[in-house]
């Protein structure tokens, strides 16, 4: 289903009819080192159902 609306409010509204809300994390905000992006954080704290946040695979950082 395609919804033409602001992303976060549309996801919060849809969460009222869902068993689970799955959102991705892209880390494109002002603080790329944050654990969660602002949209995923807002969904996690305001959704009306459980939320899973999927982060992309990250290559290990070489040490030494």
Paired sense of beta strands 21-24 and 51-54, if any: parallel
Q: So what's the pLDDT on residue 55?
A: 78
Q: So what's the pLDDT on residue 18?
A: 96
Q: Give the H/E segment covering residue 7.
A: helix 7-15
Residue pair 15/52 in contact by the 8 Å Cβ criterion: no
Identify which of 45, 50, 2, 54 has the alpha carbon closest to the alpha carbon of residue 27.
Answer: 54
List, in sequence order, every residue forming a beta bridge with 23; answer none if it has no partner: 53
Model confidence over 12-54: pLDDT tens digits?
999 999 999 998 876 655 555 555 568 888 999 999 999 998 8
Query: Using 50, 70 and 90 to split pLDDT, how confident is the model at 2?
Result: confident
Please state the pTM of the whole predicted model: 0.69
Q: So what's the pLDDT on residue 16?
A: 96
Greater confidence (57 vs 54) lies with 54
């Amino acid at each position: 289903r395609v919804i033409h609306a602001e992303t976060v409010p549309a996801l919060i509204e849809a969460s009222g009819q869902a068993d689970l809300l799955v959102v991705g994390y892209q880390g494109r905000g002002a603080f790329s080192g944050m654990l969660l992006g602002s949209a995923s954080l807002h969904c996690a704290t305001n959704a009306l159902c459980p939320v899973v946040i999927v982060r992309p695979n990250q290559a290990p950082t070489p040490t030494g």
